[in-house]
Structure 1
């Protein structure tokens, strides 16, 4: 007797049913025919380390008959629910977890010699709970909009002004070594960019790297890191290159980059692949600064890149990031490092401010 022919659509349905059923049976640990809150938390943690709070929310949405647990039909509906299959949400989550690595579970030995997962009750919740769009991460967007608006104003009002730094906003905001008494220029030069590429690169980096950091550590911390980098950049440039004008947000951008390094250092044991991310950031920073210095002093190329601002911004971002960004599982060594970073930053900034005040002859070159 010939086998009964099965339609392709029925094969797909059967395979899908078997797939869903295998997942359901895997997490129905007590074979009760239901997935309860505890089992749902195990399922969610096995796949993405989502918090207990989110697991409860998933249960609340999926438990349509309100019996406090999920049966097989409800489970299938949950997996097919568009709320849990958002393509944007999925890839945004992957991107954030790459830029700001997720917490890695730690394994410890129990008294009977078996391995068990150690969890931490942190003051601000688990590391994964920190990814939040409420309040929205608007700081980097707001700064980028202002920088773009200043560039657009100069581009519209005067031909080639954005290439020479002679536009109306540039004249007001740019760091001018001959007008050092106008102290706001040590910060506002970040709003002026020379050329399209200068603007696009800075905006792109600060949005791609700053927004994920802002979603974890909140906007005000990232703003302080950013402004610390910008200010350190102008102070350092005025000392090392006193005749140079300064424009662009590179000091703040480099501070954001090294702030990632700071949070990796302070949360090393709680992160996945911290060494890889650390190497990537260090490679970019060291390559850029080294190239600018080599071009200027070894090849005698007139390089307009303010390497001093880049380097100072990077140092400021690292030091400020260590003592202002969240440390989710503090240790004694990290506490010592926190105080070290704070003291070194205050000494460096204080020294640069003092030199800018007293070294008047140095700035008359």
Structure 2
């Protein structure tokens, strides 16, 4: 270790200006502002002392008189205070790295995206936010949304107000009707039918807000698989739990996108900043929406048009499919186990729902 005397004597004033500013300048500015506690734009001796001693594991290991000498050596213009450039030169001086290195490294680890740190330190350290890209552009959610709007407007143009009851030309072809379960396309195409403009606009807004960011990281085809898995799971769940109920809307797919974000956070835990916050937010959204619908229907006895089973089925499908199909930047052993559990559970649930729909027609016939 370098002694305090050696530390100061090895800092000739003429060498300070020879230390080049590196790529962390913008982040040094944040450090400078943090150290400058009185916000006067300069670092005085006592601010430097607090900074040095707070950045080391042992408290007050640098005596005050040494701090004063360091401050004086770094003070190029002799005004007894350090401006930003003087401060950065001091931080980058090789003989002071053991004093300031720990603080700077901790700050950079918090502020700088991991991919940038990887370039600086020469190691692979990927973070999910670095994977966002508009090339190729995220078009799939936009295309799905355009189709939903087009079918809605077609019905409204051909027969005014037909979209309020789902009786339009395209609605009659696409809507899930339990009495026409043999027309298997309806298990998916009901997503193109919406009852009223509010139903349509809410689904469009949510699926674009949730789906486009997913496309930018995981590519469109993966997001489409998640979305359609939610739609299909929603209709299958609804057909079993509420066999007399017609079904319209893309809420199964929307719920799948919601829980796909949870799946993404679970499988990229170490590559995300604050993954627990994201998971908590999405769980609260799903729980509040489903909880309100369940309370209205089963406790207040309100005749709600909300397909609770479709929403729940879509949510479960989005979580399970998202876990095994969305990108996992750095897979751990635990995540491998989670991947297999999600895959097997999804196959079992979907297989059971399909078998029930095919093998027990009497169950559905008895509902009418």
Same fold per superposition (TM over 0.5): yes
- Do the aligned partners of 2:190 and 2:248 also contact (CA within 8 Å) in 1? yes
TM-score of the pair, normalised by structure 2? 0.69
CA distance in 2, matches of 1:250, 1:272: 28
Query: Given the alignment of the two structures, is residue 49 of structure 1 paired with residue 50 of structure 2, yes or no?
Result: no
Moved over 2 A (4+): 18-30, 43-48, 50-56, 117-121, 125-129
Q: Which residue of 2 aligns with 1:236?
A: 237
Q: Which residue of 1 aligns with 2:65?
A: none
> Following superposition of structure 1 onto structure 2, how do residues 170-189 of structure 1 map, counting pairs within 5 Å?
170-189=171-190
CA distance in 2, matches of 1:255, 1:231: 10
Deviation, structure 1 residue 53:
11
CA distance in 1, matches of 2:183, 2:93: 69
CA distance in 2, matches of 1:258, 1:26: 48
RMSD between superposed Cα atoms in Å:
2.8
Q: Which residue of 2 aligns with 1:291?
A: 292
Q: How many positions carry a matched residue from both structures?
A: 276
CA distance in 2, matches of 1:247, 1:27: 63
Q: Bigger radius of gyration, 1 or 2?
A: 2
CA shift in 2, pair 1:156/1:333, >3 Å: same
Unmatched segments (≥5 aa) in structure 1: 1-14, 31-42, 57-116
Deviation, structure 1 residue 156:
1.4
Query: Given the alignment of the two structures, is residue 320 of structure 1 paired with residue 324 of structure 2, yes or no?
Result: no
Q: Which residue of 2 aligns with 1:200?
A: 201
- Do the aligned partners of 1:44 and 1:55 also contact (CA within 8 Å) in 2? no
Deviation, structure 1 residue 273:
1.4
Q: Which residue of 2 aligns with 1:304?
A: 305
Q: Which residue of 2 aligns with 1:120?
A: 124
CA distance in 2, matches of 1:46, 1:275: 16
Unmatched segments (≥5 aa) in structure 2: 1-40, 42-81, 95-106
- Do the aligned partners of 1:316 and 1:345 also contact (CA within 8 Å) in 2? yes
> Following superposition of structure 1 onto structure 2, how do residues 68-83 of structure 1 map, counting pairs within 5 Å?
none
CA shift in 2, pair 1:135/1:202, >3 Å: same
Q: Which residue of 1 aligns with 2:270?
A: 269
Q: Which residue of 1 aligns with 2:346?
A: 345
> Following superposition of structure 1 onto structure 2, how do residues 99-118 of structure 1 map, counting pairs within 5 Å?
none
Deviation, structure 1 residue 337:
0.6
| SS of residue matched to 1:341 | helix
Q: Which residue of 1 aligns with 2:212?
A: 211
CA distance in 1, matches of 2:346, 2:316: 9
Q: How far does the alpha carbon of each residue in 1:336-362 deviate from its partner, in whole angstroms, 9 at most, with x for none?
A: 110000000000000000000011111
| SS of residue matched to 1:311 | helix
Query: Given the alignment of the two structures, is residue 146 of structure 1 paired with residue 147 of structure 2, yes or no?
Result: yes
Deviation, structure 1 residue 44:
9.6
Q: Which residue of 1 aligns with 2:255?
A: 254
